[in-house]
Amino acid sequence: MKQEYRDLILKACGASSLRVGAMIQTLWSGYGEIVRLHLEACDRPSVVVKHVKFPEEAEHPGGWNTDHSHRRKVRSYQVETHWYQNYSTNHNCRIPACLAACSYGDEMLIVLEDLDVAGYDQRRTSVKDREIKACLSWLAHFHALFMGVAPDGLWPIGTYWHLETRPDELEAMEDARLKAAAGDIDQILNKCQFQTIVHGDAKLANFCFSKSGQDVAAVDFQYVGGGCGMKDVIYILGSCMEEKECEKRVPGLLDYYFTQLKLSVKKDVDFAALEKEWREMFAFAWTDFHRFLLGWMPGHRKINRYSKQLAKEVLHKLKM
């Protein structure tokens, strides 16, 4: 690790020395890594550092090494830095504290609180009802907190699959009907009366759980921005469940999300109108992500009967 990085981290944490620990993960397409650093003589035993280094030649697992892709990733790290430096949440939608952030040429550094130390040391690859509900509760409180808040400095429209940022994938689509409807679906979601800030990549892997599984914190805010909260809801549900589970469990889980949203939203919000609009947007949000997958990776396991049925319903509503 470069000396200027060490100096920044030591100063930010008030530590006397540091030791580079385990690499937690590499960043998508070879854009850097996330590592844990162990500290001496300060009140934090460790911190997590997201070290971004823009590669001369990216290695995308799906082969999408385009200028669009690179510009989107560069912007995503700028957005994430701005998010951590300028936005805050509460204990109902916990995120790591940002201790320092800076840019050095083609490199960026974000120094974050170690959520493992804070009690969120569990990761899940499969979940029970309790853990899915914990994630939905986090999202409900997050969406309530930022209801009507302008996404200043963030993506104007959040999520990594947003149509405007995915022209290459749209062009690659073979489903002509959905391809023709993509712009209409995008506009319907963007013109919702009730807008919030969405996490934008609310998959299971981006939630850190307490040992009980009842409390969660979220990480990875590269695609945080404005939008309809259903975009996050469909993404977490799709990342947790296969198609048969979706058919059986989605209605009850949606009910739970709206129960949590009602408890946390400000009293001056017309909740009945909000719930009505967002329930109507569920199929549109799901189909919007389905559109992305069809262009990005046509053989993806999430392109299943449940997704196709929702897309069929949306196209019928649009009379496409």
| CATH number (domain holding residue 80) | 3.30.200.20
Q: 230 or 125: which carries more pLDDT confidence?
A: 230
Looking at the structure, do residues 64 and 162 belong to the same domain, yes or no? Answer: no
**Is residue 60 scored above 70 in pLDDT?**
no
Count of domains observed in the chain: 2
Looking at the structure, do residues 185 and 42 belong to the same domain, yes or no? Answer: no
Looking at the structure, do residues 144 and 94 belong to the same domain, yes or no? Answer: no
Looking at the structure, do residues 280 and 250 belong to the same domain, yes or no? Answer: yes
Q: Is residue 10 part of a domain?
A: yes
pLDDT number for residue 2: 86
Looking at the structure, do residues 143 and 93 belong to the same domain, yes or no? Answer: no
Q: Is residue 118 part of a domain?
A: no
Q: How would you label 178-191 residue by residue, b for 16+ Cβ within 10 Å and e otherwise?
A: bbebbeebbebbbe
pLDDT number for residue 57: 62
Please write the tens of the pLDDT for every residue from 118-171. Answer: 999 999 998 999 999 999 999 999 999 999 999 999 999 999 999 999 999 999
Residue 176 buriedness (CB in 10 A; 0-12 / 13-18 / 19+)? exposed
Q: Output the pTM of the full model.
A: 0.95
Q: 315 or 319: which carries more pLDDT confidence?
A: 315
**Is residue 261 scored above 90 in pLDDT?**
yes
Looking at the structure, do residues 16 and 100 belong to the same domain, yes or no? Answer: yes
Q: Is residue 66 part of a domain?
A: yes
Looking at the structure, do residues 103 and 142 belong to the same domain, yes or no? Answer: no
Residue 24 buriedness (CB in 10 A; 0-12 / 13-18 / 19+)? middle
Q: Is residue 119 part of a domain?
A: no
Looking at the structure, do residues 143 and 256 belong to the same domain, yes or no? Answer: yes
Q: Which of 89, 113, 137 is the last residue in one of the domains?
A: 113
**Is residue 38 scored above 70 in pLDDT?**
yes
Q: Is residue 67 part of a domain?
A: yes
Looking at the structure, do residues 168 and 101 belong to the same domain, yes or no? Answer: no
Q: Is residue 301 part of a domain?
A: yes
Looking at the structure, do residues 162 and 108 belong to the same domain, yes or no? Answer: no
What's the mean pLDDT in 188-217?
97
Q: Is residue 257 part of a domain?
A: yes
Q: Which of 68, 85, 113 is the last residue in one of the domains?
A: 113
What's the mean pLDDT in 99-110?
92
Looking at the structure, do residues 42 and 80 belong to the same domain, yes or no? Answer: yes
**Is residue 304 scored above 90 in pLDDT?**
yes
Looking at the structure, do residues 129 and 272 belong to the same domain, yes or no? Answer: yes
Q: Is residue 132 part of a domain?
A: yes
**Is residue 43 scored above 60 in pLDDT?**
yes
3 state SS of 74: helix
Q: Which of 56, 86, 113 is the last residue in one of the domains?
A: 113
Residues of the domain holding 106: 3-113
The CATH number for 241's domain is 3.90.1200.10
Please write the tens of the pLDDT for every residue from 171-199. Answer: 999 999 999 999 999 999 999 999 999 99
Q: pLDDT above 90 covers what percent of the chain?
A: 89
Please give the Cα distance from 230 to 282 (Å, whole number): 6
Rounded-to-10 torsion of CA 225, 85, 106, 21:
-110
Q: Smallest Cα–Cα separation from 77: which of 36, 27, 35, 113?
A: 27
- Give the confidence band of 105 by pLDDT, cuts at 50, 70, 90: confident
